Chain A
Amino acid sequence: MIAVQDLTYTYPGAKDPALSRLSLTVPAGQVCAVIGANGAGKSTLCHALTGFIPHFFRGTLQGELRVADLSIPDTPLAELAGTIGLVFQNPFNQITGARFSVLEEVAFGLENLGIPREEILDRCRSALELTGLQNLADRSPFDLSGGQMQRLAIASMLAMRPRLLVLDEPTSQLDPAGTEAVFLHLRQLASTGQTTVLLVEHKLEWIAAFADRVLVLSAGSLAADGPPRQVLGSADLERAGLRPNRYTLVARRAQELGLASAAPLPVTLEQAVEFLG
């Protein structure tokens, strides 16, 4: 679904590239989490995979960048819209400001694709239900709390049913129950094989439980790539400026003190209970 080869990208006016000789392939139906320190290139990767780079941000792009057999630099943004979806880091940047209700906002993209009315309504209702917004369908998008607005941004993209869904810190303002609902749905969406999910996320506990694969970015390059337990429990994480979650930290400390075995470090609650039990 994603084929990136030797991708180097530099923002206009910047000295150093934000992405540097990055190579990556992601098969259809995978849930990939991208982690990294602030400034590692995570949002830049999201913008490149969705065509905002180079079509909107310009700058200089080298290397190959293909999604769903489309060459991103050679395909206009409007043509990518039905295939690739991006949930922005700040939901405020995503809300159109041109619609009066939450329901209309979710319908906006589908209307522009010319989807039949009944289908639009069906898709909107299910996206609102999945994000827990069904009772707020008639409210103005600007009368929502920060977290509710983030749910709306996610609902708008879910309704589009893109083949590649890219989400840039989609749960940063969500409460734990809302975060879990989003992750459960992304997991389920990917399992149909129709949608591939790539998300930037700081919450390592959720990544550990829901992602198939974790990519660690550091200074615009790939610093680690593998299944959650392998990556999140390894020393690569700290070298990339990240901190393991508390389950891993406790287990490692217990190991150092001779209180636990030398088994691979746990990254989820269940693994940690087994490790320390």
Chain B
Amino acid sequence: MRIRVEAVSYRYPSGVQALQEVSFSVDPGETVAIVGENGAGKTTLARHLNGLLRPQSGAISIGDWDARLHSVAQLSSRVGYVFQSPDDQLFARTVREEVAFGPRNLGWESARVRECADSALVEAGLSDSADRHPYDLSPSERKFVALAATLAMRTPIVILDEPTTGLDASGVDRLSEIVSALSRAGVSLVIISHDLDFCIEHVERALVMTQGRIVADGPVKEVFLEPELLAQAQLRQPQLIRLARGLGIPFAPSTVEEFIQGYRSRRR
């Protein structure tokens, strides 16, 4: 499903101008990273996409809906949003209840609720924890509970806010599989992250935000090749690009294997 954001500005009641004339669109099935410094406005922008915040000027459409005319509950059937901190969104007494809450609230019949919740638990690797209390799980497992709760709603758009934070290697692998599966299923995916190493492996396009504005928007392998642009947003190039640059090979590998191919052909 398409997301269209046109000239959106937002100022918090405290006076902080978090977004200034932000415009971009995401095509159906596209995977996009939004990167930028702390306080750049990334999370504020994401909260506009599911109606938690309303634009003070400008317009947002989610598919054929004008987001301003739909409630958060309505928008949640189209936009799944996994918060930066899972504790901002978990409240049920068991993992299974937590994951079934969204589909049930969408008014689905109980057989479909169960089916979607169960398959989301499997996809997030939580089948064994389904009957546990979310707060008896470690913070990283709680992150997967929050993710499963969103997957269960089968939304055509999913937003992940800092998904790799606090995950170890096997957690990142699990997350990678989920992200790839969403992408294969044609879900439009927006990943907010400082983890550019993760982004370059998983997205096609990157938006760079700094101080409430989008300063770059293009294919991830082009945007991440610009160290000065990233530095403006307090970011650094992914490790593989920095290594390639250090060796004088100007390319943007997204995986170790891709790096090795480029390295080999240069040595020949």
Q: Chain B 241-258 against A: per-residue CB contact (8 Å), 1 yes, 0 no? A: 011001100000000110
B259 is contacted by which of A151, A175, A250 (Cβ under 8 Å)?
A250
Q: Which residues on A sit within 8 Å (CB–CB) of B194?
A: 173-176
| Closest chain B CB from A200 CB (angstroms) | 10
Whether the pair A173, B240 counts as a contact (CB closer than 8 A) is no
Q: A39 with B43: in contact, given A169-B166, A173-B162, A253-B260 (CB under 8 Å)?
A: no
Whether the pair B38, A37 counts as a contact (CB closer than 8 A) is no
A259 to B263, CA, bound (A): 9
Closest to B171 in A: A38
Q: How many residues of chain B are within 8 Å of chain A by beta carbon?
A: 45
Whether the pair B260, A257 counts as a contact (CB closer than 8 A) is yes
Whether the pair B169, A37 counts as a contact (CB closer than 8 A) is yes
Say yes or no for A92: interface residue by CB 8 A criterion: yes
Say yes or no for A143: interface residue by CB 8 A criterion: yes
Query: Which stretch in B21-29, B72-80, B231-239 binds the other chain?
Result: B231-239
Q: A146 with B43: in contact, given A92-B85, A140-B14 (CB under 8 Å)?
A: yes
Question: Which chain A residues (1-50) contact chain B, with CB distance < 8 Å?
Answer: 36-39
Q: Chain A 156-173 against B: per-residue CB contact (8 Å), 1 yes, 0 no? A: 000000000000010011
Q: Which residues on B sit within 8 Å (CB–CB) of A254?
A: 260, 263
Q: Which residues on B sit within 8 Å (CB–CB) of A209?
A: none
| Closest chain B CB from A175 CB (angstroms) | 4
A173 is contacted by which of B38, B167, B267 (Cβ under 8 Å)?
B38
Q: Which residues on A sit within 8 Å (CB–CB) of B263?
A: 250, 254, 259, 276
| Closest chain B CB from A199 CB (angstroms) | 14
Closest to A178 in B: B38
Q: Which residues on B sit within 8 Å (CB–CB) of A151?
A: 38
Q: Which residues on B sit within 8 Å (CB–CB) of A177?
A: 37, 231, 234-236
Closest to B13 in A: A143
Say yes or no for A277: interface residue by CB 8 A criterion: yes
Q: Chain A 208-251 against B: per-residue CB contact (8 Å), 1 yes, 0 no? A: 00000000000000000000000000000000011101110110
Q: Chain B 153-190 against A: per-residue CB contact (8 Å), 1 yes, 0 no? A: 00000000010011111111000000000000000000
| Closest chain A CB from B181 CB (angstroms) | 21
A202 is contacted by which of B85, B166, B243 (Cβ under 8 Å)?
B166
Say yes or no for A148: interface residue by CB 8 A criterion: yes
Whether the pair B260, A250 counts as a contact (CB closer than 8 A) is yes
| Closest chain A CB from B195 CB (angstroms) | 9
Say yes or no for B119: interface residue by CB 8 A criterion: no
A37 to B12, CA, bound (A): 38
Whether the pair A246, B247 counts as a contact (CB closer than 8 A) is no
Q: A38 with B239: in contact, given A176-B194, A250-B259 (CB under 8 Å)?
A: no
Closest to B194 in A: A175
B246 is contacted by which of A245, A253, A272 (Cβ under 8 Å)?
A272
30 contacts between A and B (CB under 8 A): A36-B168, A38-B141, A38-B168, A39-B138, A92-B85, A143-B12, A143-B14, A148-B39, A174-B38, A177-B236, A178-B37, A202-B167, A241-B170, A245-B239, A246-B197, A246-B240, A246-B256, A250-B243, A250-B259, A253-B260, A257-B260, A259-B260, A259-B263, A259-B264, A269-B239, A269-B246, A272-B246, A276-B247, A276-B263, A277-B247
Task: Name B residues whose Cβ lies closer than 8 Å to a Cβ of A.
Answer: 12, 14, 16, 36-39, 43, 84-85, 87, 138-141, 162, 165-172, 194, 197, 231, 233-236, 238-240, 242-243, 246-247, 256-257, 259-260, 263-264, 267
Task: Name A residues whose Cβ lies closer than 8 Å to a Cβ of B.
Answer: 36-39, 89-90, 92, 139-140, 143-148, 150-151, 169, 172-178, 202, 205, 241-243, 245-247, 249-250, 253-254, 257, 259, 269-270, 272-273, 276-277
